[in-house]
Structure 1
Amino acid sequence: MPNKIRVAELFAGVGGFRLGLEGWKKKSASSGYTKSVKSVYEVVWSNQWEPSTKTQHASLVYEQRFGKDGHSNEDITTVDVTKIPDHDMLVGGFPCQDYSVATTLKNSKGLIGKKGVLWWSIHKILSEKKKKPKYIFLENVDRLLISPSKQRGRDFAIILKSLDDLGYAVEWRIINAADYGMPQRRRRIFILAYLKTASIYKDLKRCDPRDWILNEGTLASAFPVTSNELVLPTEFELNGDIVEISSSFNKNGGASLFENSGVMIRGIVTTLKTFPEFYGEPVVLNDIIQNGEVTEEFYINDKDLDKWRYLKGPKKEIRVNTEGFEYNYSEGGMVFPDSLNKPSRTIITGEGGSSPSRFKHVIQTKKGYRRLSPVELERLNMFPDNHTKLDGVSDTKRAFFMGNALVVGVIEKIGLALKEKIENEALVQQV
């Protein structure tokens, strides 16, 4: 095995993947950055570009923490693939968009939906690189498995077929970080792919798919699961090319064929509903809050409390739309204040700012009700304290970063499990 696994990080944000794989100052996220970690991963190239903002705040934070060497702050759709150094692993949390295909990937008019669908930027790198990365590690929102609503699962099927065409086998799992003791209830799909020249590909090919999902796979090693022994996995083949899949997959609009766990190799999909298996002590919101260090602007004025209670409370009322039409509106209530004895709710991008909101976190302290601070939001994603603090970056923007980020501890555990498999691969080759 080489001394380092060279990594290219796309859609880097403020560096969650990098923190999980490399650690921070040689310390691990799962230890709260107190214990040393010997990382085999080295990010040799990264890209972060936010098309909707003039000032590239996330990229500035990334550069401040990790340096400018090997970092690209340009639209990934315009990057010359030959300028990206060879790497062993491609990682990234790519946006969930409309992945429809009309004709061919070579014809830009063949992409239906928002211009510049970023999955195809990943595909372009994998297609054009003479030396393809052996490993791919991706993250996305869990609704990817059920999108779009009229062809549930089609988008994920397109991604799987694309990777199959490029010579990769795939395993995936929806993981809720809190199910494994981490401080935030954040559900995301994690996708690992292995090039056919990698020994892990050959191991997966030889293994019973159900056994890989439950015991032998990288994700099973990182995050143990169980399943209903009486339920058999669903198995099906991805027939046709990606254009045909785009137009015909689950055309009847039934439930998605994809369960929360699965594998795909040589176009054959095996998917199974699994359940987390964890017996450790959970980290709860109370474990991460700051005591006596939060400034006054995060406390809620008594006169605004009724607005917060109304927005978070249950509603059954008549409303009038902009055209004067009356309609019945109802929604359930939310816990107010947020429980300190459980992992937090999912952080959203609109978490920052002082205006009352249904979805922002509010906790009760001896001093009164308050919102969460940027440091507390960082801790919920297992980032180092003040990782996003930078001159010119507002607290609202810092909250936005964390709403877009991932839970670093999940990346760390998967990275360690993958490292072990790669090391075993190297040992086998030496025998």
Structure 2
Amino acid sequence: MANNKKNVRVVELFAGVGGFRVGLERCAKDVFRTVWANQWEPGQKGQWAYKCYSERFGADAHCVNKDISTVIEQVPEHDLLVGGFPCQDYSVASTGAKGIEGKKGVLWWSINDIVRKRHPQFILLENVDRLLKSPTKQRGRDFGIILKCLYDEGYAVEWRVINAAEYGNIQRRRRTFIFAFKDTTKQFARIKKYMETEGEFEWLVRDGFFAESFPVKQEHHDKKKPTELDLDEYEDLVTVSDMFHATFYNSGVMYAGKIYSEELSPDYNGPQKLLGDIVLEEPVDDKYFISQDQIEKWEYMKGSKKIERTSKEGFTYQFSEGAIAFPDPLDRPARTMLTSEGTANRSSHVITDKLTGKYRRLTPEECERINGFDTGWTDTGTPERQRYFIMGNALVVPLIEKMGGKLLEIM
């Protein structure tokens, strides 16, 4: 660390509008100091998330608006690397004189390059929950590659799939959080000693990074047997890419190359925020309301249906989908927001306006509140459609605030 835990240097990758930074600064703004950030939306002329980030953090933004793979040399020394990255094809191949290479454009390899260059003490990443199962034809390979990369660089890793609503937040959003810590940290010394006397299960349910902030039942799953593997059985990344397959559950730990994963159940008994808690109680612009002649269209989109379709190969099959509540109940958490939120789309929320009793879409401000941002966070000249898009890509800020508290404890 730069000096002590009162000065934690943070690098934020794929920063969006600053979800990680907002959460960490809410936890301890005087401790977590973002020294460099990167935000680049491929193919988008406006680069709206970057502009919002720069507007909100001003002269201290330190945000670079370029493809991360082209600016890795700019990344400074830091203590904590954070970022939310997409689930892509992480497979690798041997390329002769060049050694081992991943596919071009896959963002994990940029993260890996930064880790190998700077070796931050701590890494906190976010991804979709399907990361643990991808790809379909070789389940677990992609996450296995990530674990192998971090193991080779001297890290232990813990992960948890967290549904924000199961811990009191407004949105039912399931995301995989990956926490890695270097073999030079106090946390690594703790897990080393812990594994000599306790075990992986106890670490995950009692003393690991996620256990206190996101409590789980201290009992084994009655139907799903824990996965136990050893990365030392794989010669290199190419071997992992070609041969590795595993069932990863929603919680796990990798220490000294040994992988342990188990399905755990949330055990949260605190207050629960609901969709109705963030709905505006003031007049809303008419453009958000659904007219009477549009109701039938929305009911069809939201309803269950079976549709006969034909594949590219000419095979006929039946596509079916279940019903979605219409309107969305205000006495429950919101569903997962997607980037298409705000459009006439099956996945978009439709609520009953509190003042008029009429159906309407969510406003951008309400979407910000669902993710735990301040109201109006993206109101920085960003086009309204892009404000929805940005929130559909964002993480749930209060989760990061809790993780920040745990980081302060273990540093």
TM-score of the superposed pair, with normalisation by structure 2: 0.92
Is the counterpart of residue 311 in structure 1 residue 301 in structure 2? yes
State the 1:291 CA deviation: 1.4
Instruction: Say whether the 8 Å CA contact 1:227–1:273 is kept in structure 2.
Output: no
Shift in alpha-carbon separation, 1:358–1:167, aligned structure 2, 3 A: same
One of 8, 12, 36 as aligned partner of 1:9: 12
Find 1:363's aligned residue among 331, 351, 360: 351
1:89 aligns with 2:80: yes
Contact 1:352/1:397, CA 8 A, preserved across alignment: no
1:367-402 per-residue CA deviation (whole Å, 9 max, x = no partner) reads 4100000010001100001000122x2211101001
Change in 2 beyond 3 A, CA 1:88/1:317: closer
Q: Is the 8 A contact 2:13 2:39 kept in 1?
A: yes
Equivalent position to 1:286, from 273, 276, 281: 276
Aligned counterpart in structure 1 of residue 155 of structure 2, from 168, 172, 179:
168
Residues 361/298 of structure 1: CA separation in 2 closer, same or farther (3 Å cut): same
Q: C-alpha separation between the residues in 2 aligned to 1:147 and 1:260?
A: 14
AA in 1 matched with 2:327: P
Paired with 1:163 and 1:105, the residues of 2 have a C-alpha distance of 23
Q: SS at 1:406's partner residue?
A: coil
**1:107–1:385: structure 2 CA closer, same or farther, 3 Å change rule?**
farther
Question: Residue 117 of structure 1 corresponds to which residue in structure 2?
Answer: 106
Alignment of 1:43-192 (within 5 A): 43-69=34-60, 70-81=62-73, 83-103=74-94, 107=98, 110-112=101-103, 115-129=104-118, 132-192=119-179
Aligned mates of 2:49, 2:141 — CA distance in 1: 31
Question: Are 2:404 and 1:415 equivalent residues in the alignment?
Answer: yes
Among candidates 199, 224, 246, match of residue 186 of structure 2: 199
Q: 2:208 aligns with which of 205, 217, 220?
A: 217
Matches within 5 A, 1:229-244: 229=220, 233-238=226-231, 239-240=233-234, 241-244=236-239
* Distance in 1, Cα, partners of 2:264 & 2:314: 48
How far has the Cα of 1:352 moved from its partner?
2.4
Taking the aligned partners of 2:99 and 2:350, their CA distance within structure 1 comes to 46
Q: Does residue 32 of structure 2 align to residue 41 of structure 1?
A: yes
Percent sequence identity over matched residues?
49
Residue aligning to 1:257:
247
State the SS of the aligned residue for 2:260: strand
Cα distance in 2, alignment partners of residues 160 and 104 from structure 1: 22
Aligned 8 A contact 1:378 1:387 in 2? yes
Output the TM-score relative to the length of structure 1.
0.88
Is 2:364 the partner of 1:374?
Answer: yes
User: What is the SS of the residue equivalent to 1:121?
Assistant: helix
SS at match of 1:329: strand
CA–CA separation in structure 1 for the residues paired with 2:315 and 2:293: 32
2: CA distance, partners of 1:205 / 1:295: 58
Is the alpha carbon distance of 1:80 and 1:259 closer, same or farther for their aligned partners in structure 2, counting shifts above 3 Å? closer
Secondary structure at the counterpart of residue 112 of structure 2: helix
Q: Is the 8 A contact 1:210 1:233 kept in 2?
A: no
2:25 is equivalent to residue 22 of structure 1? yes
Contact kept in structure 2, 1:283 and 1:343, CA below 8 Å = yes
Deviation at 1:39, TM superposition (A): 4.7
Code of the aligned partner of 2:346: R
Q: How many angstroms apart in 2 are the aligned matches of 1:109 and 1:210?
A: 34
